[in-house]
Amino acid sequence: MSEGTIQMVKIIENPQPAASEAHDRYLQPRQAQRRPPTSYESLLGDAVERAFGAGVYDLPGLVANLNSQHSTTPDNQPWTEANYAAVMAKLGS
């Protein structure tokens, strides 16, 4: 800006909720579910959360972690990258 120029700034209210209120309005667990999870789905979800909690974020590491937890596919097989992708696609449909 050049000398002597005044810039006008309009202050508007923040449209986002406070962090303490955001979870009530925006985070809706199971919002896309059509039915409650099965026991298998709940156990698998817990195992995946434990893997993420351990800092595992890549597919090979996730598969290895699930196998180390003795988690298996719905067919009681060890996890592989291919069957993990197939199971997740089926569970997500």
pLDDT in tens, 43-71: 999 999 999 999 999 999 999 999 999 99
In 3-state terms, the chain is what percent helix, strand and coil (to 5)? 45, 0, 55
State the pLDDT confidence band at 22, using cuts at 50, 70 and 90.
low
What gap in Å lies between CA 27 and CA 44, rounded to an integer? 21
pLDDT in tens, 27-36: 566 666 778 8
Are the beta carbons of 48 and 66 closer than 8 angstroms? Answer: yes
pLDDT exceeding 70 applies to what percent of the chain?
72
Dihedral (CA of 43, 41, 47, 65) sign:
positive
- Average of per-residue pLDDT across 78-89: 96
Task: Mention every residue, 6+ apart, whose C-beta is less than 8 A from residue 40.
Answer: 74
